[in-house]
C-alpha cells in the first residue's frame, strides 16, 4: 500500500494511526486528513522528536501497515480452483 492509497482511505485508517501514535488527538487526525507531511509534523510535535525521526517512524509504519493490509487482501480474495 502506498501513501496515495492511505490518503484515499484516511477515514478508515485513522484508528490504526491512533493505535500507532496514541498521543495524536482526534483533531490532529482530522487536520492531517491523510497528508503525509502533516502526519510527520504532528508526530514530531507530539512526541518531541526530530523531523528525521518522525519520518522514519511514519515510513516504518507505512511498511508494516502495507504488509498487513496486503496479507488481509490476499486472505479475503477467493481462490479459484482449476477442477
Greater confidence, 72 or 34? 34
- Are 44 and 32 in contact, with CB atoms under 8 Å apart? no
- Residue-level pLDDT at 30: 94
pLDDT at 1 exceeding the cut of 80: no
| CATH class belonging to 3-68 | mainly alpha
For residue 64, the model assigns a pLDDT of 85
DSSP H helix total and E strand total for the chain:
5, 0
pLDDT per position as a tens digit, 6-62: 888 898 899 999 999 999 999 999 999 999 999 999 999 999 999 999 999 999 998
Per this entry, what is the length of the chain?
A: 83
Amino acid at each position: 500500500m502506498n501513501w496515495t492509497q492511505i490518503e484515499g482511505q484516511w477515514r478508515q485508517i485513522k484508528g490504526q494511526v491512533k493505535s500507532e501514535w496514541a498521543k495524536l488527538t482526534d483533531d490532529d487526525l482530522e487536520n492531517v486528513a491523510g497528508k503525509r507531511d502533516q502526519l510527520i509534523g504532528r508526530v514530531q510535535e507530539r512526541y518531541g522528536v526530530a523531523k528525521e525521526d518522525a519520518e522514519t517512524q511514519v515510513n516504518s509504519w507505512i511498511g508494516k501497515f502495507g504488509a498487513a493490509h496486503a496479507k488481509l487482501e490476499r486472505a479475503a480474495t477467493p481462490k479459484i480452483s482449476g477442477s
